[in-house]
């Protein structure tokens, strides 16, 4: 590549010596390639005058005739350069152009003898000189990590497939926003830099504000701020934005990710379950044209109602462990090891239950590959959820899954300020025992709860994972344009 770059630099200098600016300020384009191809039969003929722009993807100079293919964001098309039509100097200058350069071509449309739709060039102009070769020069771009690290090359080499993924992402967010707007939710924005992080179980990123001389945190969730708005009188609010968690990187996790959180006053987790299944079905129909999709070889029907299974019942069915028989972390850890599962009791009983949930999904049972709600979680893994109205020790919480992907988290929100304080204090004890992801006590949020928050249902949906589902991608890095990568 270094040798080719040197050759391209020589051509760049040669262009400048000829008085050609390889990076001009102005550009003219009368039509896109897609427009020309769509109307080609009616527009073709020597009386036409069209100016197209694009990147050179193929170039063949043969005596006094040259063919090239150019590509813009809408399509690819052949162009023809004739020695007599463009002139000797301009024709010879073609030899200084390379695949990957951007050009502007003006001419008329005609069919070649083989019937290929072509623009016959009357004049052309260089728009951008590329100094490095495109991926095709070394037989495409197949290395997955390189594709994710250098997304611009991935888009050039694997354009249609990669672009389609991010078209799906854009349409997913648009459809989600439309659904919420049409159901009376108001979109809001809350701080990304927070004096105290909360609303999730995670380690934060820490930064420093020089003028205030204080540490701030990149948010791990927007939950506590949106609940403050419910306290203040908004009845339905949502936010779609970036969250940041200082955690590991794997196929389901990226330290920077997109979440949608929404809160609805005078609702409980049953109302939010109905919202989730209806919203995701609506999004699938808008994006893919059907509520039946295929993810990693499994056909999934997203049509409501989704299957509802209590978490502890599912764990017992799919792992063989009845969690209710083991009231403390030591006995539960011992039982997990007896079944051949790893267990670290220092993390607490709640975290062991979370581990069992993940073990259950790794087993790949067909039931768990479908659209399903796991409901009614233990209190000790849900510090922000309201006590179940009839089941002791459990809270009104659910998580939606599809294709084995955990898509989100939802509660009947805890609005008892005294109970919430006690839960925060228990979290602080867990932090003192070594759980760095346990939640911190937020006095300002507790003060807001003491003003009074109406009964509320809340939801967080991982947008990246929903896009994974709808685009049939196995890794979160495939649906984030610029994922966090190891050095």
Q: Is pLDDT above 50 for 138?
A: no
Give the pLDDT mean for 171-189.
98
Are both 457 and 422 inside the same structural domain? yes
Strand order in the sheet with 205-209: 193-194, 214-218, 205-209
Give the pLDDT mean for 446-463.
98
In a domain, 288, yes or no: yes
How far, in Å, CA of 461 to CA of 467, rounded? 11
Are both 71 and 161 inside the same structural domain? no
Are both 206 and 262 inside the same structural domain? yes
Q: How many folded domains does the chain comprise?
A: 2
Q: Is pLDDT above 90 for 144?
A: no
In a domain, 362, yes or no: no
- Which of 98, 133, 168 is the last residue in one of the domains? 133
pLDDT value for 315: 95
Full residue range of the structural domain in which residue 16 is found: 2-133
Q: Is pLDDT above 80 for 369?
A: yes
Q: Is pLDDT above 90 for 35?
A: yes
Q: pLDDT band at 137, cuts 50/70/90?
A: very low
pLDDT value for 131: 96
In a domain, 337, yes or no: no
Is the peptide bond between 154 and the residue preceding it cis, with omega within 30 degrees of 0?
no
Are both 120 and 163 inside the same structural domain? no
In CATH, what number is assigned to the domain containing residue 433?
A: 3.30.930.10
Q: Is pLDDT above 90 for 436?
A: no
In a domain, 265, yes or no: yes
In CATH, what number is assigned to the domain containing residue 119?
A: 2.40.50.140
Are both 109 and 164 inside the same structural domain? no
| Digit-coded pLDDT (tens) for 190-238 | 999 999 999 888 999 999 999 999 999 999 999 999 999 999 999 999 9
How far, in Å, CA of 100 to CA of 56, rounded? 5
Q: Is pLDDT above 90 for 298?
A: yes
Are both 182 and 116 inside the same structural domain? no
Are both 105 and 207 inside the same structural domain? no
| Digit-coded pLDDT (tens) for 236-284 | 999 999 999 998 899 999 999 999 999 999 999 999 999 999 999 999 9
Are both 181 and 107 inside the same structural domain? no
Mean residue pLDDT of the chain comes to: 93
pLDDT value for 433: 81
| Digit-coded pLDDT (tens) for 474-486 | 999 999 999 998 8
31 close to 152: Cβ distance less than 8 angstroms: no
């Amino acid at each position: 590549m270094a040798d080719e770059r040197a050759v391209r630099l020589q051509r760049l200098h040669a262009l400048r010596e000829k008085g050609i600016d390889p990076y001009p300020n102005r550009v003219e384009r009368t039509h896109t390639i897609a427009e020309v191809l769509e109307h080609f039969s009616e527009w073709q003929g020597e009386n036409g005058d069209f100016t197209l722009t694009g990147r050179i993807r193929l170039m063949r100079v043969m005596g006094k005739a040259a063919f090239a293919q150019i590509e813009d964001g809408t399509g690819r098309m052949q162009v023809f350069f004739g020695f007599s039509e463009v002139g000797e100097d301009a024709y010879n200058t073609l030899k200084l152009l390379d695949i990957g350069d951007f050009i502007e071509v003006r001419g008329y449309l005609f069919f070649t003898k083989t019937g290929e739709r072509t623009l016959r060039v009357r004049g052309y102009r260089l728009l951008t000189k590329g100094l490095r070769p495109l991926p095709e020069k070394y037989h495409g771009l197949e290395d997955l990590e390189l594709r994710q690290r250098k997304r611009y090359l991935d888009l050039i080499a694997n354009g249609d497939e990669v672009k389609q993924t991010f078209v799906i992402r854009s349409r997913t967010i648009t459809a989600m926003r439309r659904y919420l707007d049409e159901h009376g939710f108001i979109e809001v924005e809350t701080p990304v830099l927070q004096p105290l992080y909360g609303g999730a179980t995670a380690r934060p990123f820490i930064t420093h504000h020089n003028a205030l001389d204080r540490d701030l945190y990149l948010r791990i969730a927007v939950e506590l701020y949106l609940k403050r708005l419910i306290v203040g009188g908004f009845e339905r609010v949502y936010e779609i934005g970036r969250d940041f968690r200082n955690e590991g990187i794997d196929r389901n996790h990226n330290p920077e990710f997109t979440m949608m959180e929404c809160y609805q006053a005078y609702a409980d987790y049953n109302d939010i379950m109905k919202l989730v299944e209806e919203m995701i079905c609506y999004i699938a129909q808008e994006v893919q044209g059907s509520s039946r999709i295929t993810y990693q070889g499994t056909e999934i029907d997203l049509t409501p109602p989704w299957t509802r299974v209590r978490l502890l019942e599912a764990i017992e069915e799919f792992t063989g462990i009845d969690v209710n028989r083991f009231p403390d972390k030591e006995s539960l850890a011992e039982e997990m090891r007896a079944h051949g599962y790893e267990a670290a009791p220092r993390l607490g009983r709640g975290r062991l239950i979370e581990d069992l949930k993940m073990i259950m999904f790794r087993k790949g049972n067909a039931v768990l590959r479908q659209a399903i709600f796991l409901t009614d979680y233990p209190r000790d893994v849900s510090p922000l959820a309201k006590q179940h109205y009839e089941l002791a020790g459990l809270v009104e919480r659910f998580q939606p899954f599809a294709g084995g992907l955990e898509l989100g988290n939802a509660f009947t929100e805890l609005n008892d300020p005294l109970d919430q304080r006690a839960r925060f204090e228990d979290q602080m004890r867990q932090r003192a025992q070594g759980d760095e992801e346990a939640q911190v006590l937020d006095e300002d949020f507790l003060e807001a709860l003491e003003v009074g928050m109406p009964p509320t249902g809340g939801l967080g949906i991982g947008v990246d994972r929903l896009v994974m589902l709808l685009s049939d991608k196995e890794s979160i890095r495939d649906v984030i344009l610029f994922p966090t990568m190891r050095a």
